[in-house]
Amino acid sequence: MMQRFKGLIKLKQARNGLLSYQRNFSALPYDAQYDDPQDQVLVEGRAKSRAAILNRPASRNALTIPMVARLKRLYESWEENHDIGFVLMKGSGKAFCSGSDVVSLCELLNEGKMEECKTYFQTLYKFVYLQATYLKPNVAILDGFTMGSGAGIAVPGMFRVATNKTVFAHPEAQIGFHPDAGASFYLSRLPGYLGEYLALTGDKLNGVEMIACGLASHYALHERLDLIEERLGKLITDEATVIETSLAQYGDLVYPDKTSVLYKIETIDKCFSHDTVEEIVDALENEAANSYNEWCKNAIGKIKEASPLSLKVTLHSIREGRFQSLDQCLAREYRMSLAGMSKRVSNDFCEGVRARLVDKDFAPKWDPPSLEEVSKDMVDSYFSPLGELEPELELPTTLREPYI
């Protein structure tokens, strides 16, 4: 098993892997002091670069409509500015970004403000595509929580620096949603069926594991970040190789701990390669019974906590993502997000947010309540074209081609 990952673990090889540079949800106290969009995303000017700082620390930098709009405007203006050679993004406090502010999104839905939710997802997905097609080198410092769409705004970029404080996860199915912001693209390209495992269980990876499977391009200790930023801030360059060399100077050669889920890859492939969620659960139960494997029992428990509808929608999304480009994944995820927001099939999204993040009773009333009651038509409705009266997500694919 170790041989399967050895080639992915070294920094140089990880940089040439899945996302080569050659081409959590938050329910924490509302950041009233950061109502101004300019306060939610701060800007630092450097010699030949700019840094965007996600600045809602009390909410673990959960993304809002003003935040993604400001990020998109900043990155577009920086790309056009010939005095700027490269850009950097990081978070303030103990998180890079915990994902979308889903509590605020549900409040908007309950107030009948569906158009504002559409604007959020349109802007978010367009920013993800901008990151993936950016014409200048860009760096994301993934220190702390990097979850949900918080991962989506960073993983498509050129350089992703993980640390010993990084916590990566896609727990969307546990709140009745689906991994979005390009997640169906990059999760489907992880080794074996690791992407399906992460998406269905919501399990976490640390920074070392992100390097090993290619989600991060570099690894550095949290304690060295000030040195890295100081070094980058002094660079007068727009060359990716120069930035890569600077990041590598502070990098560490790291290997996953023996308890890492990456050492379970054979079991993951055996169980999560099946075509349906029901078959995946059955495979895990058989594995648990035959091997008395506590890890299998934990995986089953995590899956059974999630929305049955979201599980089936999520699996279908990852499987489609294996054969689609990033722009196709984003366009499909936009349809899926609108279907979830519309409550036409189910109210699982707002119910999951209520149970886990608002009331915190951890007793969501899923609709449908079981996998067996989720019909094929229900799942298919999340993937259907939006129709004449509802515009599809438009991305500048003829002008911008992703590096990944």
pLDDT by 10-residue block (mean), the chain, 404 residues: 44 39 41 63 91 93 94 95 95 94 92 93 96 94 95 94 96 96 96 97 96 94 92 92 91 83 94 97 92 88 96 98 95 95 91 94 94 96 88 85 60
- Residue 130 burial by CB count (10 A; 0-12/13-18/19+): exposed, middle or buried? buried
Residue 139 is predicted with a pLDDT of 96
How far is 156 from 171, CA to CA, in rounded Å? 19
According to DSSP, the β-strands at 41-45 and 138-142 are unpaired
Residue 403 is predicted with a pLDDT of 54
How far is 298 from 308, CA to CA, in rounded Å? 17
Residues 202 and 304 sit within 8 Å (Cβ to Cβ): no
Strand partners of residue 147: 169
Amino acid (1-letter code) at residue 290: N
Burial 332-343 (b: 16+ CB within 10 A, else e): bbbbbbbbbbbe
DSSP string for 267-294: HHHHHHTSSSHHHHHHHHHHHHHHH--H
Residues 289 and 296 sit within 8 Å (Cβ to Cβ): no
Residue 115 is predicted with a pLDDT of 93
Number of H helices, E strands in the chain: 19, 10
